[in-house]
Amino acid sequence: MSITRRLLLAAPALIIPPTLAHAAPEEKEFEFLGVRDPQLGMQLAVAEHFGLFREEGINLTFRWQPSGGDVLTVMGSGFPIGVGSQFGQIALAAQGVPVKILCGLADISDTQGIVLGPNTKVGADLKALEGRRVAFTQGNNSPLMFMKLAQRFGFDHTKIQMINMNPSEGVIAASKGDVDILLAWQPFLYRLTTMGGSLFATGGATYFTGSKVALPEDEKLLYSHSVILAHQSWIDGKPNTLAALLRALIKADARFKADRAGAMVALQRVLRIEPEPLKVMTEANRYGVRIDQPLVNSYRFTNDWAVGIKRIPAAQKPEEGINPAILDQVDRSLVTWRAGA
């Protein structure tokens, strides 16, 4: 037998499966703070349903939280890892908690928006917004949407009456005409449209001309991302565990994009959300496990808002809040923004 033939026959034995080539996770079983929300948990739910975490040698036990705000509270008490938003990292860092963003999961700016009540009409002149009553939930930056619209279309946003209530109350109030407009996020926007409301704008698009107008990145009304948050102690001490986590999430992201129908079944089962609102919510998100300029835009936008209303005592920097080391190790092509670049 020739040397060439012997090498060809032996070649399969020399090929190391990708999973086996990775360093073993330091922590194979651990708890993870999740949220039953496709804006925050799509990749997590798909990875859990299809066993993608196990493929990477880790086993997650989810501690489901009602919202990203609850994740922030638990991580502020020392819990090491979870899903959240850029504001979660900014708020924790401002308190001296060494939590970093490992990667973005989705641009979720289009899941926040403005819906007109069934009996509210606003034509081409947005001055018609002045004097309107808007239901909103205090503590988030969504009112900035009206400020940006006012700058572009020439009306006085200070003449809008902002009425604080939770989103469920806002949906009912707008449907009954007790308020004119709902400023909220999905699935509450969707619920009001099923009651006769009309979508007016989201963070990344306007609808008041009668059709959707997608806004360029630098002209969006709002910037927001879902992210993976990890304590610095895990980044330093358990990098292989975090790399395994990100590999599973990257697989889940690819599976969702290749087989959306199958992935939607998984999302319904894990997140426990009805098919129609789930469809609306997933279509509004731009999913991708990455670190890029839009993620940094969300970080800076949120930081400026938080400093401006004194939610945090000092500005936070994306160069310090976003740590690309683990994602860089897993797939360098997914990191298109780096500090100082």
Q: Is the dihedral of CA 79, 62, 293, 110 positive or negative?
A: negative
pTM of this prediction? 0.90
36 pLDDT above the threshold of 80: yes
Please provide the DSSP assignment of 319-338 as one string.
HHHB--HHHHHH-GGGB---
User: Residue 204 gets which letter from DSSP?
Assistant: T
Please provide the DSSP assignment of 35-82 as one string.
ES-HHHHHHHHHHHHTTHHHHTT-EEEEEEESSHHHHHHHHHTT--EE
Give 130-173 pLDDT, tens digit per residue.
999 999 999 889 999 999 999 999 999 999 999 999 999 999 99
110-219 to CATH, choices 3.30.310.50, 1.25.40.80, 3.90.1170.50, 3.40.190.10: 3.40.190.10
CATH topology of domain 27-108+224-334: D-Maltodextrin-Binding Protein; domain 2 (3.40.190)
- Tell me, letter by letter, the H, E, C secondary structure of 280-303: HHHHHCEEEEEECHHHHHHHHHHH
123 pLDDT above the threshold of 90: no
Question: Average pLDDT in the 61-65 region?
Answer: 96
- Give the integer Cα–Cα distance in Å for 167 and 140: 12
Question: Average pLDDT in the 54-63 region?
Answer: 98
247 pLDDT above the threshold of 90: yes
Tokens of 285: 């998100």
Residue written as token pair 């990875």: 47
Give 266-320 pLDDT, tens digit per residue.
999 999 999 999 999 999 999 999 999 999 999 999 999 999 999 999 999 999 9
Fold agreement (27-108+224-334, 110-219): yes
Question: Average pLDDT in the 82-92 region?
Answer: 97
Element (H, E) at 225: strand 225-231
Give 175-205 pLDDT, tens digit per residue.
999 999 999 999 999 999 999 999 999 999 9
Share of the chain above pLDDT 70, in %: 94
Domain extents for the chain?
A: 27-108+224-334, 110-219
